[in-house]
Amino acid sequence: MNHRPTQTLLNIGHALDHMLLLIFATAVTRIAADFGLQRWEDLMPYGVAAFFFFGVGSLPAGKLGDLWGRRKMMLVFFFGLGLSSMLVAAAQSPLQIAMALAMLGCFASIYHPVGIPMLVQGAARPGWTIGVNGLVGNLGVAFAAVTTGFLVKYFGWRTAFVVPGIVCIVCGALFAACAHPEDAAPAKRKSNNSVLTGVSMARLFLVMTMAATSGSLLFNFSTNSNFELLSARLHGLVQDPARVGMLLAAVYGAASLTQLIIGHLIDKHSLKRLYVGVIGTQALLLMLATTQEGWSFFVTQFLFMSAIFAAIPFTDAMIVRFVNDEMRSRVAGMRLAVSFGASSVAVWLIGPVVKGAGFTALLSVMALISVVTLLVVSQLPTTPKPNPRPSAA
């Protein structure tokens, strides 16, 4: 089992992963103005490359994690993410920033198929471990909102990329010192027992990938548009970008706590029943959000983000429950390559959809995606409650 300093750094890595990916969306208005564009919506499509490579990069990252080693790949993650963030800060045109964001997306793609399997390796309570990791990851989303708003206001958008880039490099150095070298790559360590019993792997992978894709679409639509969405719905009530960032950070921070609850419940109850309940709630709240304005929207936004965040732990929990450790990074990589790659289209669509039809249309699309997710999740195989497993030595 990973010792506590390594676990802590793996969790911090999750926060940095999400934070770095969302700085552009949070600072897009100021970046567009700096590059001479009149509307932020016109710059938003330049961020799609980051999320596309964040998805497709998961496939080689997962393969290398299993065959080459997870510790080595996490070192590449920390140092590569930090350096590419600084490269974004040096961009002088929309094309340059798109290319730098694409590189950032490549390094960011390493975390999920490598870091999470490394974290849950031998965990006695994998659901709880995933829940804590998800909470920390989404605190990174919150930090992206509040720190970017602050840094953009007082120091400029380039500083908003430089500061977390430095933090990444420092964490990489600490990880190199704390994480014990692996005796062998995971693929070379054979498990004595299979956790995939009585369930069709093909069916599970198909349903899991489809659910993850629709869930990733919702995550990208919401987290990449929430800053401008909240600014628009609070127009006349809150104008200062730093205050909007703080409000959005409060939404993300509080909503992220749902992942602890879900993680605890995953260790005790059937995945399918929990998942269906969360997605059904999510769909209803997104429909309600289309009718809200002002502070009532702020409350509704907190509720639907809670439901969106609550759905995140399920796909990782399914991999832990049904897939042996020596191939978890590859299975996760295949799933993530499809789901994150396909959902990168959400980042490209936000600008044109909002520019052409407004935020109500965007929320309606999100509600429809949630309904589709509900139909997909209903096809999950019904499995018994998990049996507690002792922690690995």
Type of residue found at 301: Q
Give the integer Cα–Cα distance in Å for 257 and 131.
9
Query: One digit per residue, pLDDT tens: the chain, 393 residues?
Result: 457 889 999 999 999 998 998 899 888 889 999 998 888 878 888 888 888 898 889 999 999 999 999 999 999 999 999 999 999 999 999 999 999 999 999 999 999 999 999 998 877 788 889 999 988 887 887 777 778 888 888 899 999 999 999 999 999 999 999 988 888 888 887 655 455 455 567 777 788 788 888 888 888 888 778 888 888 888 777 767 778 878 888 888 888 888 889 988 988 887 888 889 999 999 999 999 999 888 898 899 999 999 998 888 887 887 877 777 888 898 888 888 887 777 777 767 776 777 777 888 888 988 998 998 898 888 877 766 665 554 433
For residue 384, the SS3 value is coil
Question: Which amino acid is residue 151, in one-letter code?
Answer: L
Cβ–Cβ < 8 Å for 232, 359: yes
What's the pLDDT score for residue 385? Answer: 65
Phi and psi of 324, rounded to 5°?
Answer: -65, 155
Number of Cβ atoms within 10 Å of the Cβ of 261 = 14
Which of 155, 166, 159, 171 is closest to 115 using CA atoms? 171
* 8 Å CB contact between 9 and 71: no
Helix, strand or coil, per DSSP, at residue 340 = helix
Q: Which CATH code, of 3.40.50.300, 3.50.40.10, 1.20.200.10, 1.20.1250.20, is assigned to 4-377?
A: 1.20.1250.20
Tally of CB atoms within 10 A around 68? 17
User: What confidence score (pLDDT) does residue 390 get?
Assistant: 44
Domain boundaries, the chain: 4-377
- pTM for the model: 0.77
- String of DSSP letters for 17-33: HHHHHHHHHHHHHHHHH
